[in-house]
Amino acid sequence: MQIPYTVEERPETGLTNGKFGIWLFLASEVMLFGSLFSALIVLRMGAGSWPHGWEILNIPIGTINTMVLIGSSVTMVMAWASLRLNNFGAFRKYLGSTVLLALVFLVFKAIEYNEKFQHGYFPSTHNFFATYFTMTGLHGLHVIGGIIVNSYLLFPGSAMWKTDPERFTNRIEYAGLYWHFVDLVWIFLFPILYLL
Amino acid sequence: MSAHDADIPKQVKAFKLVFAALALGTVLTVAVSTFHLPIVAAVVVALLIASAKGSLVAGWFMHLRAEKKAIYAVLALTVFFFAFLLLWPLLDIGGGMGKQNVMDGVKQPWDPHSGHGATTGHGGAGGESGSNQSGN
């Protein structure tokens, strides 16, 4: 039995089921990160003292990681555009770059975490570090999730391009929407944690 | 290539411009932070730049410039609950404003001036300590 509305649009929504589904998922993700931002506001406004992120965190690494994630968003959308232009070779190049940039992001994050641990800063040190490790840690888990999904689509999952190219292109679009959301979260996390 | 796909090369050019704008926005955010503005001004500027960058990502990379009504409806509902989530705790905080903070004057473990905190390679963790900063 064929799964309905994977390529053709559902009349009620004008969308494929996958696209509507990924947007509903992203809506739930907004609330998940929103709860953490809300907790940060409460903790910071209620604290007797709160360190400046720029005094404690590594701004150069944070800035490089922001650029890396923005770059990966561009390669992700270019991977989708390449499929739309029937250029599978370019798609592989761009999606491979996305995965590689995501790994670079995690390596820098690991260096940063290690630096903090070396200086004796742990989540238990202060609420600032508790929120920093929780928010960047959850974001890091999302990056790992993106790497897993994109790696699947890059290697075994790409076999679908030969049998059902339109459906495969849609899958890349959904994976891209998720990846851009991960980038979007970091765009707000970086100034709030590092620069204020 | 369908008529819809004929638009892709134009979009690719736009994606590159958006990337340049996002990189510029990142540099601008970091540059502004070096001025060490008062906390309220710093938050406003940082969130304005982040919102502009976020709009570019959502509008172009996530194609929200031209999407179906069902997605806008989902997002409108999300924005409502997100705003509620952020603003609701402020009511509680507002009720406590002007009262003595129990942590005022208490030495923090990360504070190098307290004599038992760790130091960093980034200039230590002075932060907004003291009772006059408790509302930040």
pLDDT in tens, A67-88: 999 999 999 999 999 999 999 9
Residues of A in contact with B126 (CB under 8 A): 51-52, 55
> Which of A69, A93, A131, A187 is the mutation pick for testing B, counting most B CBs within 10 A?
A187
Q: How far apart are CA A68 and CA A81, in angstroms?
A: 20
pLDDT category of residue B118 using cuts at 50, 70 and 90: very low
pLDDT higher than threshold 50 for residue B119: no
Q: What is the mean pLDDT of residues B66-70?
A: 91
- For A153-185, b where at least 16 C-beta lie within 10 A, e where not — what string? bbeebbeebeeeeeebbbbbbbbbbbbbbbbbb
Yes or no: say if A169 and A83 are a contact pair by the CB < 8 Å rule. Answer: yes
Q: What is the mean pLDDT of residues A183-195?
A: 95
Q: Where are the beta strands (DSSP E) in chain A?
A: none
Q: Concatenated DSSP letters for B69-122?
A: HHHHHHHHHHHHHHHHHHHHHHHHHHHHTTSPPTTTTPPPTT-GGGSS----TT
Residue ranges of domains in chain B: 7-86
Instruction: Name residue A43's amino acid.
Output: L
A52 contacts chain B (CB < 8 A)? yes
Scan for tokens 């009504």, then name that residue. B69
pLDDT higher than threshold 90 for residue A25: yes
A159 contacts chain B (CB < 8 A)? no
What was the pLDDT predicted at A48? 77
Q: What are phi and psi of A50, to 5 degrees?
A: -150, 125
Contact A34 B85 (CB under 8 A): yes
Q: How far is A151 from chain B (nearest CA, A)?
A: 20
CB nearest to A56's CB, from B57, B109, B125:
B125
B19 contacts chain A (CB < 8 A)? yes
Contact A190 B29 (CB under 8 A): yes
- For A120-149, b where at least 16 C-beta lie within 10 A, e where not — what string? ebeeebbbbbbbbbebbeebbebbeebbeb
pLDDT category of residue B135 using cuts at 50, 70 and 90: very low
- Full set of structural domains in chain A with CATH: 17-195 (1.20.120.80)
Angle between helices A59-84 and A165-189 (to 10 degrees): 160
Containing H/E element for A114? helix A88-118
Pick the closest to residue A168 from A99, A89, A83, A87 (CA basis). A83
A25 contacts chain B (CB < 8 A)? no
